[in-house]
Amino acid sequence: MANLMDLLQGQISEGLVDQLSQQLGGADKKQTQIATQGILSTLMSAMAKNAATPDGASALANALENDHDGSILDNLTGILGGQAQPTNTRATNGMGILKHVLGGKQSGAIDMIAQMSGLSGDKTGNLMATLAPMVMGMLGKQKRQANLDGSGLADFLSKSVNSATNKQQEMGLIGKMLDQDGDGSVMDDLAGMGMKMFGKFLRK
């Protein structure tokens, strides 16, 4: 089974990045692309962390079973752009998803990704809420296709994060942000690294 990050990146076409940039009020395309990568990495890491406990894995499996069957991926540009709505509105409730996935870490995640990408905090928050349903939809699709239970989901997410960490330097920092106690150390690290951990995307 492919890892979740590769599957998600396969959905991010140049046309979709253009659409997301326009929805953010004409945001810089490169900044949008960098922020998108950061958001996908952060949400995947947060889901893996949440699913690391039996209760968390069970709650995630139930949410996917009830609300995220992957059908959002069939018309991703239409749904993310607001031109179409799935029959289950919870499938596209990005803010609700973020509340469950990130909890009190949401503002820290937005600040981190905004600094990484150069996108403003409010646009980063809007983009995160837009992309969250896609992440849940992709995870729900994998659950359905592979018949994963809570334990299987936890294993899939853990392997996905480990695979991505080996490829992406920023994954380690995201993990630190999710574990931090609010002392601001991650922001210090960001400043020290030039706040451009996704710089490789600028050179594409």
Nearest to residue 46, comparing CAs of 31, 60, 65? 60
Q: What is the mean pLDDT of the chain?
A: 83
- CA atoms in the 13 A half-sphere facing the CB of 199: 7
What is the reported pTM?
0.84
In this predicted structure, what is the pLDDT of residue 168? 65
Nearest to residue 141, comparing CAs of 43, 48, 70, 67? 70
- Give 130-174 pLDDT, tens digit per residue: 999 999 999 999 999 999 999 999 999 999 988 877 666 566 667
A 10 A CB-CB count for 126 gives 20
- Give 38-95 pLDDT, tens digit per residue: 999 999 999 999 999 999 999 999 999 999 988 888 888 887 777 776 667 888 899 9
> What's the domain range around 30?
4-203
How many domains, in total, are found in the chain? Answer: 1
